[in-house]
Amino acid sequence: MQHDNLVEIEDVAFGYGARQVLKGINLTAKRGQVIAIMGSSGCGKTTLLRLIGGQVKPGQGTVRVAGESVGELDPASLYRLRRKMGMLFQFGALFTDMSVFDNVAFQLREHTDLPEDAIRDLVLMKLHAVGLRGAAQLMPAELSGGMARRVALARAIALEPMLVMYDEPFAGLDPISLGVTGNLIRRLTDTLGLTSLVVTHDVQESLKIVDYVYFVSEGVIVAEGSADDIRASDLPFVHQFVHGEADGPVPFHYPAPSYAVDLRLGG
Amino acid sequence: MLKRSIENLGNRTIQGVWRIGFAARFFLTMLLHSGTAFRRFGLTVREMYFTGVLSLIIILVSGLFVGMVLGLQGYETLQTYGSEEALGVLVALSLVRELGPVVAALLFASRAGSAITAEIGLMKATEQLSAMEMMAVDPIARVVAPRFWAGVISMPLLAALFSAMGIFGGYLVGVQLIGVDEGSFWSQMQSAVDFEQDILNGVIKSVVFGVAITTIALFEGYDAPPTAEGVSGATTRTVVTSSLAVLALDFVLTAFMFRGIN
Amino acid sequence: MNKTVLDLWVGLFVIAGIAALLFLALKVGSMSAVNTSDSYEVVARFENIGGLKPRAPVKSAGVVVGRVADIRFDNETYEAAVTLRLDKRYAFPKDTIAAIMTSGLLGEQYIGLEAGGDSAKLKDKDRILITQDAVVLENLIGHFLYGKAQEGAPQ
């Protein structure tokens, strides 16, 4: 394909009911890169991934993946496109009624007519890539959070997609698992020629592995740049975010009437 | 205050109508996406294990006890008219026509229906359904439809087992314990119970109940808010709604089926 | 749960369920008694059928030989036309008598067939010519009282 950009988001707005979550987002992801989308909790990052996956349709603007406008596809083409995408959900979203092996084999069994021998080899390869070949026969309930995340990653790359999306891959992981997951994302992107979109609020970990960063706040992109640009940025929002300060452009307090009025001190 | 409560009532009515419409759409989608449930029958067989086989014990034990109680009570009543031999007829007709399909359905709703709702609700809450959708697999076809058909196939089998077990229970109490004549117990039963009017209608009833219970259970699970309270509330609603639906449908079906006679 | 073990259980469950259905159909109900394929129908006309209902048994010498298939009112003769579905295994002479009887004093009503002496047998769609109406208790009591009154009158 001639497109250099795998994902192109142009002026996309989206709202749940009256609440406008995204207000005109522009974003591109080049092939072979790891792109991070950062922002505080509840700013619409996950919604952005759902838009790319076609689970919701944008109210305005276009979302293009590999040149196809996701919002305008009929269900059959959308499902065809989704086979070329992998998604890692926040807590893995492994199928709890299947073993690790069956979880990774799920898409291969659903979408291909491969013989069971070939599926076995492919699944063990993917599990080996995330270092969990030995855990193939365990059930998801027996895995730690970090292991579940890695199994979900193996499942997401089972069909060798061109795009993998990660929804908060670092949330709730211990420092070791954190490093392991971060390295995996980078390594898999390079070795399999994927494009990775990482939605996260873990700045330090993701800055180590990403090529380009977008900052989302209040439904718009407030800053973007390479990892080094971001570290050196002196925009107040980015500074607050990168250094984890409690107060700043993102206020500590949820909007409320004045404290004195609320406590009825005014008399 | 009054205005508020009228507004409230109106809102709830609109919500209710909305839900019914959504449920109807859900039911149709489920039927349209049922291909997978039959093409890959293994999926349906797997669910039949969870809905059917795991309900067996409660169905068989309850059937036996209901039959035994019918034997005792029926004997007490029939004795006063001196027609104890009709015990077989009484036990068989009440089980095959009413108690078998209805009680088995009520047990099925609380045993299998609640489990289905909780499972689907949790799959939704833990984003498993979303994940499946993102893997280009339709959760309605892959998860919902096999459970539906498993329930619809299991229900009449369970109801038949319940009735058979109940008749055996009535036989144990009536013939073995009290000493009603064995020959007249069976022969009167055979001449009074009609295949089409009684047994086939009972089977039709249980199929309808199976459709109603599994649809309600699946819908409640699919529609449950993805939180702990959401799922537990949905599970309760499944049991309540499907029990009521079974009893109401039983009335309607009975009225239809036995209107022709007399 | 191993897949084959699971299949085995479901298989057992289905077999048990079907066995229960067969038990209900054959042992509890009377599916085999009269089948449409090997039966024939004859019509009998009655002036009064009392409380006879469709699917009531047709008995001869106390043995069930068929069932009442249909009851209809003939608006021209003002009679009840009762269709009997009889088992092919049993053939009856042309001059068989059909009577509406009651099992016990208050039991259900059935049709009793009493074979005649004709050598020709009843065929499908034939009509039984000699019939005997249901005994209606009120009429019986009425007759009895009327008879008593007549006895007393000449004195």
Q: Calculate ∠ Cα B150-B156-B157, nearest 5°.
A: 80
Cβ distance of B194 and C29 shorter than 8 Å: yes
Measure in Å the smallest separation between the Cα of A97 and chain B Cα atoms: 10
Q: What percent of chain B has pLDDT over 70?
A: 98
Partner residue facing A55 (CB), from B128, B130, B142? B130
How long, in residues, is chain C? 155
0.90 exceeded by pTM: no
The Cα A135–Cα A123 span in angstroms is 12
Model confidence at C2: pLDDT above 70: no
State whether C54 and C109 are in the same domain: yes
Q: Is B137 within 8 Å of chain A by CB? A: yes
Measure in Å the smallest separation between the Cα of B20 and chain C Cα atoms: 33
Q: Residue A41 is part of which domain span?
A: 5-95+162-262
Name residue A231's amino acid: R
Partner residue facing B134 (CB), from A82, A91, A95? A82
Partner residue facing A89 (CB), from B123, B131, B142? B131
Partner residue facing B130 (CB), from A83, A89, A94? A89
Partner residue facing B195 (CB), from C9, C20, C25? C25
Task: Give the per-residue pLDDT at B209.
Answer: 96
Asked if residue B76 belongs to a domain, the reply is yes
Enumerate the residues of chain B whose CB falls inside 8 A of the CB of residue A79: 136, 138
Asked if residue C148 belongs to a domain, the reply is no
Name the token pair of B87.
């015990």
Residue partners of A56: CB distance under 8 A and separation at least 6: A14, A47, A50
Q: Averaging pLDDT over each range in A13-17, A83-87, A214-218, which range is the top one?
A: A83-87
* CB distance B71 to B173 below 8 Å: yes
Q: What mean pLDDT value characterizes chain A?
A: 83
The SS3 of residue A218 is: coil
Enumerate the residues of chain A whose CB falls inside 8 A of the CB of residue B47: none
Which DSSP state fits C25?
I
- Tokens 């191993």 -> residue: C2
Measure in Å the smallest separation between the Cα of B62 and chain A Cα atoms: 30
As a whole number, mean pLDDT of residues C67-84 equals: 89
The SS3 of residue C71 is: strand
Task: Give the per-residue pLDDT at C36.
Answer: 54
pLDDT band, residue A2 (cuts 50/70/90): very low
Asked if residue A44 belongs to a domain, the reply is yes
State whether C67 and C105 are in the same domain: yes
* CB distance C68 to C83 below 8 Å: yes
Residue partners of A193: CB distance under 8 A and separation at least 6: A31, A32
Asked if residue B125 belongs to a domain, the reply is yes
Task: Give the per-residue pLDDT at C30.
Answer: 65
pLDDT band, residue C104 (cuts 50/70/90): low
Helices and strands of chain C, counted as H and E runs: 2, 8
Model confidence at C28: pLDDT above 50: yes
Count other Cβ atoms within 10 Å, centred on residue A2.
4
CA-based max dimension of chain B: 70
Q: Is B50 within 8 Å of chain C by CB? A: no
Model confidence at C35: pLDDT above 60: no
The Cα A51–Cα A71 span in angstroms is 8
Model confidence at C15: pLDDT above 60: yes
As a whole number, mean pLDDT of residues A116-135 equals: 88
Partner residue facing A91 (CB), from B126, B132, B138? B126
Asked if residue C154 belongs to a domain, the reply is no
Asked if residue C151 belongs to a domain, the reply is no
State whether C21 and C89 are in the same domain: no
State whether C10 and C45 are in the same domain: no
Q: Is B53 within 8 Å of chain C by CB? A: yes
**Rg of chain B, C-alpha, whole Å:** 22
Of A48, A36, A42, nearest in space to A10 by CA: A48
Name the token pair of B109.
């709703």
Measure in Å the smallest separation between the Cα of B126 and chain A Cα atoms: 6
Domain count for chain B, please give it: 1
Q: Residue C21 is part of which domain span?
A: 1-32
Model confidence at C109: pLDDT above 60: yes
Dihedral of the CA atoms A202, A203, A205, A207 (nearest 10)? 140
Name residue C39's amino acid: S
Task: Give the per-residue pLDDT at B156.
Answer: 95
Choosing among C7, C28, C65, C110, which should be mutated to test the B contact, i.e. which has the most B CBs within 10 A? C28
The Cα A71–Cα B224 span in angstroms is 26
Cβ distance of A82 and B131 shorter than 8 Å: no
CATH of the domain at A32: 3.40.50.300
Which DSSP state fits A72?
G
pLDDT band, residue A262 (cuts 50/70/90): confident
State whether C9 and C67 are in the same domain: no
Task: Give the per-residue pLDDT at C48.
Answer: 86
The Cα A182–Cα A204 span in angstroms is 11
The Cα C51–Cα C110 span in angstroms is 9
The Cα B109–Cα B130 span in angstroms is 27
Q: Which residue has the higher pLDDT, C81 or A236?
A: C81
Sign of the Cα pseudo-torsion (A22, A42, A172, A105, in order):
negative
Asked if residue B51 belongs to a domain, the reply is yes
Task: Give the per-residue pLDDT at B122.
Answer: 92
Subunits with 3+ Cβ pairs within 8 Å of C are B
Q: What percent of chain A has pLDDT over 70?
A: 95
Cβ distance of B137 and A93 shorter than 8 Å: no
Asked if residue C152 belongs to a domain, the reply is no
pLDDT band, residue C153 (cuts 50/70/90): low
pLDDT band, residue A1 (cuts 50/70/90): very low
Name the token pair of B173.
């109490």
Asked if residue C149 belongs to a domain, the reply is no
Enumerate the residues of chain C whose CB falls inside 8 A of the CB of residue B198: 29
Q: Which residue has the higher pLDDT, A187 or B66?
A: B66
Task: Give the per-residue pLDDT at C34.
Answer: 46
Name the token pair of B205.
């009833």
Residue partners of C26: CB distance under 8 A and separation at least 6: C32
Q: Calculate ∠ Cα A190-A194-A200, nearest 5°.
A: 90
Subunits with 3+ Cβ pairs within 8 Å of B are A, C
Model confidence at A250: pLDDT above 80: no
Partner residue facing C17 (CB), from B45, B161, B190? B161
Subunits with 3+ Cβ pairs within 8 Å of A are B
Name residue C134's amino acid: A
Q: Calculate ∠ Cα B201-B202-B207, nearest 5°.
A: 95
pLDDT band, residue C31 (cuts 50/70/90): low
Q: Calculate ∠ Cα C121-C127-C131, nearest 5°.
A: 100
The contact set of A with B (CB < 8 A) is 53, 55, 79-80, 82-83, 85-87, 89-91, 93-96, 106-107, 110-111, 152, 155
The Cα A132–Cα C137 span in angstroms is 88
As a whole number, mean pLDDT of residues C40-51 equals: 88
Of B59, B64, B53, B58, nearest in space to B151 by CA: B53
The helix (H) or strand (E) run that includes residue A46 is helix A45-52
Count other Cβ atoms within 10 Å, centred on residue B223.
18
The SS3 of residue A15 is: strand
State whether C104 and C123 are in the same domain: yes
Q: Which pairing describes strands A68-69 and A60-65: parallel, antiparallel, or unpaired?
A: antiparallel
The Cα A264–Cα A262 span in angstroms is 5
The helix (H) or strand (E) run that includes residue A14 is strand A5-16
Task: Give the per-residue pLDDT at B262.
Answer: 43
What ipTM was estimated for this complex?
0.82
Of B253, B202, B183, nearest in space to B98 by CA: B202
Q: Residue B86 is part of which domain span?
A: 41-254
State whether C28 and C62 are in the same domain: no
Asked if residue C150 belongs to a domain, the reply is no
Asked if residue A139 belongs to a domain, the reply is no
Sign of the Cα pseudo-torsion (B214, B215, B217, B218, in order):
positive
Name residue B154's amino acid: S
Enumerate the residues of chain C whose CB falls inside 8 A of the CB of residue B203: 21
Choosing among B158, B163, B195, B205, which should be mutated to test the C contact, i.e. which has the most C CBs within 10 A? B195
Task: Give the per-residue pLDDT at C62.
Answer: 83
Asked if residue B11 belongs to a domain, the reply is no
Sign of the Cα pseudo-torsion (A132, A137, A140, A144, in order):
negative
Partner residue facing B199 (CB), from C14, C17, C29? C29
Enumerate the residues of chain C whose CB falls inside 8 A of the CB of residue B89: none
Q: Is B127 within 8 Å of chain A by CB? A: yes
Segments of chain B with pLDDT less than 70: 259-262
Asked if residue B238 belongs to a domain, the reply is yes
The SS3 of residue A39 is: coil
Bridge partners of A195, per DSSP, are A163
State whether C28 and C69 are in the same domain: no
Residue of B nearest to C52 (CA): B262
Domain count for chain C, please give it: 2
Model confidence at A118: pLDDT above 70: yes
Asked if residue B249 belongs to a domain, the reply is yes
Q: What is the pLDDT of residues B2-18, one digit of tens each?
A: 889 999 999 999 988 98
